[in-house]
A and B are shown apart, each in its own frame.
Chain A
């Protein structure tokens, strides 16, 4: 049941416990208990809402961060520190030409640029940053923007 429940919640976090109960053939109380358990254990970190903002009232940037690691100070230290800033929406350690990949949000270009200059670039272990401002979103977390869901099938067919 856990795998099926997680799949259904990932697809639609707003699905009600009673719908889940019907689909999975159990009771709403058991569903609630299972979700609480998964939240508590950290398997479910949270539920997000995806806005079709596309840069109208906020600015998003992908920030590449190059890091030098010293004894006793690994990637985790700087990664965890950067993740604490509310401006940082995603923070990933990745392989390749740079080390950390941040998704940063702000109200204006200046806002984001200031954040990167004053909060990220100044960290002792950060050796360099490259900021890419986001121009347009086509897909986020598996959802395609502007996609119309309409059933094109005949209403009755053999």
Chain B
């Protein structure tokens, strides 16, 4: 029998990140600057809370939306950090990571043929999930392009800041411009703020904190980046009541609830880990400054990213190589792995993504090797 297949899925190309993963996996002994997760382990108090949760029998389903204790803690945390108040009963949904939450949101709001504007380059899961939900992803690179790309079919605008893969964030004035477009065109803003805690010079401004925006925004966040809890698989949605109810309808059928042990641990993260988060943030900042200086020494033009733990330099201007060739040769000759920009879209084929979620000692060796590689291209 031929296994039936989904027509939309057939049109989605395999992940460029996955392809590169397979190449890197064949090369042991590489320093990887290709990792999209913190190198820190989750804070010990969080792990201790998870152990205690198991001991205390947190081995059952929780409420579909997440335990009321965790939703309460999320509401308090978000109000304390970003000044936006959400109702734990009605406006918060806990899921298995920010990716599931994004999937739930687009499936809740899209009908076949609807268009969704996405900032590019952006996290690799947005476009495939929009497509699987029946939507058509339309890419914009600048705020000034948004107005031109809006059609009567446009339902939502997706953006993530600080950004994976560029590390860039939006300023207040940029956010205000986006908000005006969102309001004027009656769009749903889907704001992925999972890297919010990793903002270095400026304080993160949550999109929903802008005037009138809370009613038009689905804010997505989670525990993976701020608290180094990737393996706990926990994210959340903050949105108007009817959107949370719709997303929860899908969530209860496809996931039932998020991991109960993780939910207990997450409360500890939200309530008692500010100092741990600050420590990690300071370490990333030190590394970012180091990476930017080293890249500039090699002759690359780099903007200092405001957040996350990525750099996304154009390497063609300096080296004449495409991101794919740069990444493959750097891997083969110097055993350093970076992600080719093509993984984030064909328009970014001249870029590479460097992740500095790696210890300083390894970063130093990796950048020495990279400098040696760039030197050899002359």
Contacts and interface: CB of A to CB of B under 8 A. Distances in A.
A157 B36 contact: yes
A156 B21 contact: yes
Interface stretch (B57-65, B261-269, B286-294): B286-294
B374 interface: no
Interface of B: 15, 17, 20-21, 24-25, 30, 32, 34-37, 39, 123-125, 164, 286, 289-290, 293-294, 337, 339, 360-361, 364
Given A25-B293, A156-B20, A157-B35, 5 more contacts: A19-B361, A151-B39, A155-B30, A155-B34, A155-B337
Given A4-B286, A25-B289, A25-B293, A157 B21 contact: yes
A155 B339 CA distance: 11
Contacts of B17: 156-158
Interface string A13-39: 000000100110100000000000000
Given A154-B21, A156-B339, A19 B364 contact: yes
Contact of A22 (B24, B34, B37, B290): B290
Interface string A132-155: 000000000000000000010111
Contacts of A155: 21, 24-25, 30, 32, 34-35, 337
A22 B337 CA distance: 21
Nearest to B32: A155
A61 B119 CA distance: 63
B24 A157 contact: no
Interface residues of A, number: 13
A149 B264 CA distance: 27
A158 B128 CA distance: 14
A156 B286 contact: no
14 contacts: A19-B360, A22-B290, A22-B364, A25-B289, A25-B290, A25-B293, A154-B21, A154-B35, A155-B35, A156-B17, A156-B32, A157-B17, A157-B34, A158-B124
Nearest to A19: B364
B353 to A, nearest CB: 10
B337 A156 contact: yes
